[in-house]
Amino acid sequence: MKFQASTKVQIPRGTDDIMPGEVEKWQWIEQKAREICGLYDYHEIRTPVFEHTELFHRGVGEATDIVEKEMYSFTDRGNRSISLRPEGTAGVVRSFVEKKMFAQPQPTKWYYMGPMFRYENPQAGRRRQFHQFGVEAFGSVDPLLDAEVIALGMQYFKSLGLKDVRVEINTLGDAESRQQYREKLITYFEGYMDELSAEAKSRLYKNPLRILDSKDARTKEIAAGAPLLRDHLNETSRNHFDTVIRTLDLLGIPYVINPRLVRGLDYYTHTAFEYTVDISGAQAGSIGGGGRYNGLVEQFGGPEMPGVGFGIGLERVILALTEQQVKLPLAQGLDCYLITLGEEAKLVGMKVLQSMREAGLRVDRDYMDRKMKAQFKTADRLQATYVAILGEEELKRNQINVKRLATGEQETISLDQLISHIQQQR
Ligand code: HAM
């Protein structure tokens, strides 16, 4: 491929630069995620952003939108088919199996954060590179663990100051219930063969559950009359779901049972849920989603080992925080801005600056040879609490002039006191 030297290279569609000024919000919401995971004893795992394409075909499912239409797949120089990860669960499960974590005492509780990639139609809250905070808990079939995962997400939203987050929840039952239900659904939809959308038709025998969340108007109408899974649950599945629901009640977590919630990935069994919050102007859908996936570890060559988790979309978290005008407690400006006058003070100023930084103060100085007045302006712009002015005269006497910008108070102190002076009154 030839590239023209003179044309500007622009950011790829559906991706974002997260700029200084904005990135502090990200750091804060990421920090909160780590804190909350610590409270619940979830530990961080970092897996590659690309994996063998086959992983997602087997994990996420051949007949899902993600695998059929949205993957960034390419052949690498070694002729392998590689894909940028469209979600986090498959890679985490691969790692769980590959590292033989199933041989360890269970449960294994992990969390992750990072970029995911889906070739989607970009809009606010729907990006081609987006970021997820996710958790995965392996090794227990206990429905209390489903409730813990849901509660963790809710505590996360609460810790951010987000209000009105709802949980929509459903059960997809175990393999046996699903199989029976699947047959019922196929029979039902076969009765409407001529009226189903082309997409629904193509899914009928591969993944009939996905027809339930079709976007096509007529298919939607037909789906509204379809049998419900909850009427076809076996006892194990019913008990599992009942306990999850009762635990949510006990924990005071608001939820709505949505019998048509099926989710866009194939690996779910039993609990499936989404976190939703209103974000105007963004056709964003849910802020997070997850569920149980009891067969996935086995599918990747591990033993029978259940799992449950969620993924939260961080772009959507930021949008919701903005929408709700949540004031984030972000670090303010500098503790001190140093102004020097004269050549010698300019150089010595470097040492003063260094000692302040080593003492843990946030400080900066001028590197543009600006006039004093302009330097004061810079200090204002950087929201400095203090300006310290080091002139030739002060330097001779081992002193420095400090001014508190908010009050205009100014005093000359010994250079040795500078750090403690600022620390005390920070
Ligand atoms: P998912 O529902 O595909 O589930 O994605 C989880 C969340 O990621 C969504 O609710 C949404 O907030 C965000 N998200 C998805 N696609 C985009 C996009 N194109 N732009 C911005 N945000 C997006 C999963 O990925 C599963 N791995 C969740 C899971 C973990 N289930 C069990 N464990």
Mean pLDDT of 199-210: 88
CB–CB of 256/275 below 8 Å?
A: no
Asked which of 298, 323, 348 is the last residue of a domain, the reply is: 323
Exposed e or buried b for every residue in 306-319, given b needs 16+ CB within 10 A? bbbbbbbbbbbbbb
Cα(82)–Cα(221) distance, integer angstroms: 39
CA torsion 54→57→58→60, rounded to 10°? 130
pTM for the full predicted model: 0.93
Domain termination site, one of 323, 349, 380: 323
Whether 245 and 300 map to the same domain: the answer is yes
Q: Indicate whether 242 pLDDT > 70.
A: yes
* Distance of alpha carbon 399 from alpha carbon 413, whole angstroms: 6
The C-alpha atoms of residue 186 and residue 361 are separated, in whole angstroms, by: 67
Write the CATH number for 34.
3.30.930.10
Distance 132 CA to ligand 1 centre (A): 7
Give me 293's structure tokens: 């996936």
Asked if residue 314 and residue 354 are part of one domain, the reply reads no
For residue 343, give the CATH number of its domain: 3.40.50.800
Which residue lies with its CA nearest to atom 30 of ligand 1? Answer: 310
Mean pLDDT of 84-106: 97
Please state, in angstroms and rounded to a whole number, the distance separating the CA atoms of residues 312 and 91.
16
Please give the C-alpha separations between residue 29 and each of 111, 112, 156, 277, 411, in angstroms, as whole numbers. Answer: 14, 13, 9, 17, 39
What's the rounded Cα separation, in Å, for the pair 137 and 110? 6
288 CA closest ligand 1 atom index: 10
In short, whether 288's Cβ falls inside 6 Å of ligand 1 is yes
Over range 237-244, report the average pLDDT.
97
- What pLDDT is attached to residue 93? 97
**Does the C-beta of 85 come closer than 6 Å to ligand 1?**
no
Q: How do residues 265-324 score in pLDDT, each as one tens digit?
A: 888 999 999 999 988 766 557 999 999 999 999 999 999 999 999 999 999 999 999 999
Mean pLDDT, residues 208-236 taken together = 90
Domain of 419, in residue numbers: 336-425
Listing DSSP states for 305-356 in one string gives --EEEEEEEHHHHHHHHHHTTPPP----S-SEEEEE-SHHHHHHHHHHHHHH
- What are residue 363's DSSP bridge partners? 336
CA dihedral 355, 357, 359, 361 (to 10 degrees): 130
pLDDT band at 231 (very low <50, low <70, confident <90, very high): confident
Does the residue 10 lie in any domain? no
List the Cα angle 288/294/300 in 5-degree steps.
100
Q: What is the pLDDT of residue 426?
A: 67
Number of domain units in the chain:
2
Whether pLDDT at 209 is above 90: no
* pLDDT, mean over the chain: 94
Ligand 1 nearest-atom number relative to CA 293: 32
pLDDT digits (tens, 9 = 90+) for 140-154: 999 999 999 999 999
